[in-house]
């Protein structure tokens, strides 16, 4: 995907800047530096068949941004008859902002369970990609995934909260994108610093295979839904036209839902949402 332009850590936000610095440093020193006195060349342009850019993998953000003056409408359908709608705007050349809202049981019978809040996303790219350096973006997203769980004051899959992510694109039998990031959620009781990583690989000019892994260090305590195996999602993105993209994912392949816990809420979620899920996304991109 083109980007334009194990020891568990201690709780608390003090280590967040250290993790971000280490990620950027590791990626920087693994690349060959330019000759003395020369500016690092820009990466060669990536010729997408449809001109669409990615701003996320499945759940996790990456350093990609929408172009300035463009907007993206994202409709996402997930298990339990749920639907999310995302609207993201390329507000500035290096800044995207967006809003999202959703509900459970939209497709099904009975009462629709609306989420309690309209959620907010913002992403700022602070370092553009070059041959030497990956793109680095900082952001915030309050949108989690799956049904909202009132008793636990969280989404089934917690929102990223504050995050930093680095992305690098390579030419390897087409296009290969590597992504690594850290995040600090604001949901639930367990708010440990967390890490995530992902990869996308082109299969021809219109299809990209996607895989991402969320270590879920912020979702493995007794009062949480997860039990420590993390969230693994795989799927693909298909550019059906210049502006329209269809995406399909298998989510939570490691079945990271606690089978029993201290509350009936966790037991009920395990019965209804345990196991791998199937999700469909319809993404439309246009310009003002």
| pLDDT tens-digit readout, 63-117 | 999 999 999 999 999 987 899 999 999 999 999 999 999 999 998 888 999 999 9
| Burial (CB count within 10 angstroms: exposed 0-12, middle 13-18, buried 19+), residue 68 | middle
pLDDT value of position 51: 38
Could you say which residues of the chain have pLDDT below 50? 3-14, 16-17, 20-22, 24-36, 39-51
Does residue 121 sit in helix, strand or coil?
Answer: strand
CATH 3.30.1130.10 correct for 16-32+49-287 = no
| CB-CB contact of 197 with 25 (8 Å) | no
pLDDT value of position 34: 46
In angstroms, the CA 270 to CA 256 distance is: 9
Ramachandran region of residue 58, left (φ > 0), alpha (ψ -120 to 50) or beta? Answer: alpha
Q: What is the mean pLDDT of the chain?
A: 82
DSSP string, 38-85: -PPPPPPPP--SS----SBSSSSB-S--PPTTEEEEEEEEETTTEEEE
In angstroms, the CA 194 to CA 231 distance is: 12
In angstroms, the CA 186 to CA 275 distance is: 25
pLDDT value of position 109: 86
Q: Which regions of the chain does DSSP assign to beta strands (E)?
A: 70-78, 82-92, 95-104, 113-114, 119-127, 135-141, 145-149, 154-157, 161-171, 175-184, 194-202, 207-214, 231-239, 244-251, 277-287
| CB-CB contact of 144 with 154 (8 Å) | yes
pLDDT value of position 2: 52
Cα–Cα distances (Å) from 182 to 18, 66, 215, in that order, read 10, 21, 10
pLDDT value of position 228: 84
């Amino acid at each position: 995907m083109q980007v334009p332009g194990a020891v568990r850590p201690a709780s608390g936000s003090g280590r967040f800047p250290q993790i971000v610095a280490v990620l950027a440093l590791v990626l920087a020193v693994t690349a060959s530096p330019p000759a003395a006195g020369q500016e690092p060349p820009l990466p060669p342009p990536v010729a997408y068949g449809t001109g669409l850019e990615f701003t996320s993998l499945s759940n996790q953000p990456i350093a990609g941004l929408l172009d300035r003056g463009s907007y993206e409408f994202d409709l996402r359908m997930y298990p339990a008859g749920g639907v999310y709608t995302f609207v993201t705007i390329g507000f500035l050349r290096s800044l995207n902002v967006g809003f999202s809202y959703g509900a459970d049981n939209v497709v099904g019978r009975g009462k629709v369970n609306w989420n309690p809040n309209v959620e907010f996303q913002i992403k700022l790219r602070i370092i553009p990609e070059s041959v030497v350096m990956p793109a680095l973006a900082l952001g915030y997203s309050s949108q989690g995934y799956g049904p909202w769980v009132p008793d636990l004051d969280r989404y089934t899959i917690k929102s990223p909260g504050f995050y930093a992510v680095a992305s690098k694109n390579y030419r390897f039998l087409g296009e290969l994108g590597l992504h690594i990031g850290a995040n600090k959620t604001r949901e639930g009781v367990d708010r440990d610093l967390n890490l995530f990583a992902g990869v996308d690989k082109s299969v021809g000019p219109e299809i990209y295979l996607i895989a991402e892994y969320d270590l879920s260090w912020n979702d493995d305590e007794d009062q949480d839904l997860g039990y420590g195996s993390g969230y693994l999602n795989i799927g693909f993105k298909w550019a059906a036209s210049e502006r329209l993209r269809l995406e399909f994912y298998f989510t939570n392949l490691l079945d990271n839902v606690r089978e029993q816990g201290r509350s009936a809420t966790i037991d009920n979620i395990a019965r209804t949402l345990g196991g791998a899920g199937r999700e469909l996304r319809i993404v439309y991109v246009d310009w003002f």
